[in-house]
Amino acid sequence: MKMKTTKLLLLSTLFIGSFSCTQIMEDNESSIPEHEPKANMELQVTTHDGAPFNKNESSNKRYSGSPGGPVMMQAFYWDVPAGGTWWNTVKGKLNNWSNQGIGSIWLPPASKAQNGPFSMGYDPMDYFDFGDYNQMGSKETRFGSGTELRSLVGEAHNQNMEVYADIVINHNSGGQLEANPYTGTDTWTKFNPASGKFNRTYNDFHPNLDANNDEGVFGGFPDLSHKKSYVQDWLWKKSNSVGKYYKNDVGFDGWRFDYVKGFGAWVVKDWVNNVGGFAVGELWDGNASTLKWWVDNTDRKSSAFDFAAYYAMDRAFDGNNLNELNGDMLWKKDSQRAVTFVANHDTDEIWRKNLAYAYILTHEGYPCIFYRDYEDWLDKSMMNNLLWIHKSYATGNTSILHVDNDEYIARRNGYNGNPGLVVYINNSDNWKERWVPTNWSNKKIKDYTGHSNWEPWTQGGTWVKIQCPPRSYSIWTLK
């Protein structure tokens, strides 16, 4: 929510199609040599368990039960079209998304905000107005009416998809001026929403009698005081609280918590303990240890977006040094609480997105796809192929087999009878090939991206030679 960075995407460079291997082969490299090569690389094995990703308290049956687990779609971008059409636009996409392996959608903040029909929702005013009350300049929100929102949620459930609400509880906006005895000035802290629920005054914001401040203030907006019992009751404790109304009346299945640097991790823990549902926090920090610290302080009730992986991918793919992928990331520390992503409505820094999506859709964590990447900017057949590979074969823990400036090869070790996969990423301008150890002995394998037409046999000791086209990837598993 905080900042918006954009790039002009050179779409023609993002996806490299299939190549004929014979164009670069001097001999038949798919044949099996008589002797295995000697291992000359260190094997780095992560310490995660081998089970597929398991969303806490998830009810999603179709994709949490598939081998690779679910994929999330961020179902909006900054400044989606105004005019109250967005809920219906998303609803029209659900059948296709579900068929391609999307198991959940993350919606923008749905309630009425200060800028009414023009707001993206991150300046919340009335948490209980989803486009039902004429206030802040309109009845509908930017995205549509409350009826349309509920219809969208219902259709998502019909498609066996979960729906996550973007929850902005650090700050409020759109209140009226009132004399504030704690600041000695007039502050915009008097809220009398048309819904008649969760009226607020200066007592509910910082500073107040109980607390001068909390962990962070955003942009000068009135900062909600979560230590106040009245605020806790209205946000998550009461039977008609914000959280329980979203869950029980509208049908939301989980939460994306905005700007969690602004309040204690205990808030998210208490919310989930009282309301339930999947949770992920936006802790904008590139340090994997900090992300893990925050997740642990929610008592592991919440996941976190893996900004450490995001920045590592940017340095690796755009900075032309794949050694960066050896760095620490949240998914390496706690794979079941890491939501990996390539872009979102706030930040879009990675240019070589084909490589980044190949990375997150073959590695551990809960991958999140950005709406504009899938619907507008990238090759949809490429994305659908990666989604199919993810749900079919991205299982088990991860072994990093080889890393240098240009090449990265990792193996998902499989789980519960699923063979797993080997992913080969090549960030150079030339075809590459390399011997790697697999978990398969005397088996034929193939590249399920179609970028290579090799179908080599693994040796008795499991080694095999695989290849990868320039600025692209290949993903191998049993034929």
Token digits for 261?
A: 């640097």
pLDDT of residue 1: 53
Could you read off the pLDDT of 73-126 as tens digits, one per residue? 999 999 999 999 999 999 999 999 999 999 999 999 999 999 999 999 999 999
Nearest to 408 by CA among 436, 380, 446: 436
Positions at the binding site: 170, 233
Q: Which helix (H) or strand (E) holds 464?
A: strand 463-468
The DSSP bridge partners found for residue 304 are 281, 338
Q: Which of 132, 204, 223, 282 is catalytic?
A: 282
- What domains are defined for the chain? 55-305 (3.20.20.80)
Sole residue written with tokens 């490589």: 355
pLDDT of residue 462: 98
Nearest to 464 by CA among 447, 451, 429: 447
Could you read off the pLDDT of 192-221 as tens digits, one per residue? 999 999 999 999 999 999 999 999 999 899
Q: Which of 258, 285, 314, 407 is catalytic?
A: 258
Say whether 132 is catalytic: no
Count CB neighbours of 294 within 10 A.
21
3-state SS, one letter per residue, for 163-178: EEEEECCCECCCCEEE
- Tell me the DSSP string of 106-156: EEPP-SEETTGGG--SSSEEETT-SS-S-BTTBSS-SS--HHHHHHHHHHH
Positions at the binding site for Ca(2+): 170, 233
Q: How far is CA 219 from the centre of its chain?
A: 25
The bridge status of strand 44-45 relative to strand 407-412 is: unpaired
- Say if CB 219 and CB 226 are below 8 A apart: no
User: pLDDT 10s per residue in the chain (479 long)?
Assistant: 543 333 433 333 333 333 223 222 323 333 333 323 333 333 333 333 334 334 443 344 444 568 999 999 999 999 999 999 999 999 999 999 999 999 999 999 999 999 999 999 999 999 999 999 999 999 999 999 999 999 999 999 999 999 999 999 999 999 999 999 999 999 999 999 999 999 999 999 999 999 999 999 998 999 999 999 999 999 999 999 999 999 999 999 999 999 999 999 999 999 999 999 999 999 999 999 999 999 999 999 999 999 999 999 999 999 999 999 999 999 999 999 999 999 999 999 999 999 999 999 999 999 999 999 999 999 999 999 999 999 999 999 999 999 999 999 999 999 999 999 999 999 999 999 999 999 999 999 999 999 999 999 999 999 999 999 999 999 999 99
Sole residue written with tokens 């309301």: 275
**Cα 253 from Cα 284, distance rounded (Å):** 23
Say whether 178 is catalytic: no
- Say if CB 290 and CB 329 are below 8 A apart: no
- Tell me the DSSP string of 203-218: GGBSS-SS-S--S---
